[in-house]
A and B are shown apart, each in its own frame.
Chain A
Amino acid sequence: NAGVTQTPKFQVLKTGQSMTLQCAQDMNHEYMSWYRQDPGMGLRLIHYSVGAGITDQGEVPNGYNVSRSTTEDFPLRLLSAAPSQTSVYFCASSYMTGGTEAFFGQGTRLTVV
């Protein structure tokens, strides 16, 4: 039981490049989400999904796309990387009903130069 797995752990991009941050969970959670963590700002929600085929925007969605084709996977795509997207990105998952604990991955540290 791996929990929430994020890849890669570190990435350096040049401005304008695109990339996909991967997130997979093996707990059969319906709800998955992406956050970015910046110093002094806590974790801010980028996008979330309440089930396969259903996604919605969070607080800071601009510059990011998501899709949810399976229950397990929830990739985050940076369309054209900008220095403002330098951050640590966390994927999380939880059940929609019953338990409310959110389980987080170990994060992806992204630097855009």
Chain B
Amino acid sequence: QQQVKQSPQSLIVQKGGISIINCAYENTAFDYFPWYQQFPGKGPALLIAIRPDVSEKKEGRFTISFNKSAKQFSLHIMDSQPGDSATYFCAALDSGSARQLTFGSGTQLTVLP
């Protein structure tokens, strides 16, 4: 059973546009929500993360929006660039559960020049 559901599976955006990726979770014990970025042939790398005590976190062009009551969070990429083309994974962690990260299924983002 997938505990973190991610959508869409793929996303194509024009350069300069906004990319939005959504995730939903079930386990209310999750207390840390990172997003990972993965380029072809590489391992995932942490992009940005949020804890449930805040509703939004922004780092440069990347913003996480978090809705605790709806158990949903999303990644917004403003002014998307071709270099942002990658696979993005949302994840969730229950710090009290042996630090097991649960990943979403991934979104393949393509930013057209």
Do A and B interact? yes
Q: Which residues of A contact B (CB under 8 A)?
A: 4, 31, 33, 35, 40-45, 48, 50, 56, 58, 90, 92, 94, 96, 100-102, 104-107
Question: Closest chain B residue to A102 by CB distance?
Answer: B101
Partner of A96, one of B32, B93, B99: B99
Question: Closest chain B residue to A3 by CB distance?
Answer: B43
Partner of A40, one of B4, B9, B93: B9
What is the minimal beta-carbon distance from A51 to any residue of chain B, in angstroms? 11
B100 engages A90 (CB within 8 Å): no
A100 engages B95 (CB within 8 Å): yes
A48 engages B105 (CB within 8 Å): no
A43 engages B89 (CB within 8 Å): yes
The CA of A50 and the CA of B43, in the complex, are separated in Å by: 21
Q: Which residues of B (1-59) have their CB < 8 Å from a CB of A?
A: 4, 6, 9, 32, 34, 36, 41-46, 49
The CA of A98 and the CA of B96, in the complex, are separated in Å by: 13
B100 engages A45 (CB within 8 Å): yes
A58 engages B100 (CB within 8 Å): yes
A40 engages B105 (CB within 8 Å): yes
B43 engages A100 (CB within 8 Å): no
The CA of A35 and the CA of B103, in the complex, are separated in Å by: 10
A106 engages B42 (CB within 8 Å): yes
Does chain A have a CB within 8 A of B98? Answer: yes
What is the minimal beta-carbon distance from A89 to any residue of chain B, in angstroms? 10
Interface 0/1 of B76-113, CB less than 8 Å to A:
00000000000001000101001111111110000000
What is the minimal beta-carbon distance from A23 to any residue of chain B, in angstroms? 11
Partner of B98, one of A4, A50, A104: A50
The 9 residue pairs across chains A and B that have the minimum distance between CB atoms:
A104-B43, A42-B103, A42-B105, A43-B103, A101-B46, A104-B44, A106-B43, A31-B99, A42-B106
Q: Are A50 and B42 also in contact (CB < 8 A) when A40-B9, A42-B105, A100-B93 are?
A: no
